[in-house]
Amino acid sequence: MAEQLPDFVLAQLYPTSLVIVETEIAKPKPGLDQAVTKQMNQSVSAELKQEEIKTTGDSDKIPNLATTLTDEPLLPKQQLPLIERPDNWFLGKNAKRITILVNEPDAVFLNDANLDFLTKILGACKLNMGDVSVINTARYLALFPEIKKELSPSIYILFGVKTSDIQLPFIIPDYQIQPYDQSKFLAAPAFIQFTGDSAEAKLEKTKLWVSLKTLFNI
C-alpha cells in the first residue's frame, strides 16, 4: 500500500504545484457564517474608504493629463497686413518718385527713432520726406505691380524687406544696387541694425552711405 505523505510535506516538496487533498469540508453553522460574512464586508468597506481618502489626499500630486497636453501659454498673435489698401498707405509726397519700403510692426509707418534716422539719411542725400514715399509692409503689403502703377518709382530702397515679399523676380544681397524694369533697387538691413554707436552699427551705416552715394551720384 502506498504511503500517504502529510499535507505540509507535499507543500514543501511541490511548492509551485497545486496539491488537492481530499478532506471533508466542515459546514459552517448558519449563525457563524452570517457573522463572518458581515465582518468581512465591514473590513472590505473600511479598506475601500481608507484607499479613497488616500487617493483624494494625493490628487493634487497627480498631474492633470488634459492640462499637461492642452493648456499651453497663449502667444500674442502677430498682426497681419491689411488686405484692403488704406487711404493713407504711404508717408511722404513722392515728389522725386523714390519709394522706401520698411517693415515696422509696431508703427503706422515709422517709430520716432527710425523716422529721425531716415530723415538724416535723406538730408545727407539732399532729399527730404516730401521727395519720397514710405510704405510700411507690416501695415499694408503693397506688391511691386501696384507700387509701380500707383507711384511710378525710379528708385526703390528696401529696409528689412525682401524682394520676394513684394513679388520681385530676383534676390539681391544687402547694399547691392540692382537695375530692373527701368528702375533701381537697393536692399538694406532693418533699421535696428543701424541703432546705437557700436562698432557693428557704425559699420552698417558706412556700408549704407557708400551705396547711397552710388545710387544718387553724390
Name all domains of the chain by residue range, CATH numbers in brackets. Answer: 98-216 (3.40.470.10)
- Within 10 angstroms of residue 46's Cβ, the number of other Cβ atoms is 10
Tell me the pLDDT tens digit for each residue of 131-156: 999 999 999 989 999 999 999 999 99
Tell me the pLDDT tens digit for each residue of 59-111: 445 444 443 444 444 444 445 566 677 888 999 999 999 999 999 999 999 99
Residue reference for cell 501696384: 146
pLDDT at site 41: 58
Q: Decide: residue 186, CB within 10 A, 0-12 exposed, 13-18 middle, 19+ buried.
A: buried
**Cα distance between residue 9 and residue 3, in whole Å:** 12
pLDDT at site 72: 44
Higher-scoring residue by pLDDT: 103, 17: 103
Cell numbers at 160, concatenated:
528689412
- Within 10 angstroms of residue 104's Cβ, the number of other Cβ atoms is 20
For 119-128, which contacts have Cβ atoms below 8 Å and span 24 or more sequence positions? 121/208, 121/212, 124/209, 124/212, 125/212, 125/216, 125/218, 126/216, 126/218, 127/96, 127/98, 127/216
Between the CA of residue 9 and those of 13, 23, 125, 144, 206, what are the distances in Å? 6, 16, 110, 99, 100
For residue 107, the one-letter residue type is: A
Cell numbers at 165, concatenated:
515679399
Quickly state the pLDDT bin for 200 (edges 50, 70, 90).
very high
Tell me the pLDDT tens digit for each residue of 55-72: 555 444 544 444 344 444
Evaluate whether 186 touches 215 at the Cβ level (below 8 Å).
Answer: yes
Tell me the pLDDT tens digit for each residue of 27-54: 545 554 555 555 655 665 565 556 555 5
pLDDT at site 87: 84
* HSE, side-chain direction, 13 A CA sphere, residue 197: 0
By three-state DSSP, how is residue 140 classified?
strand
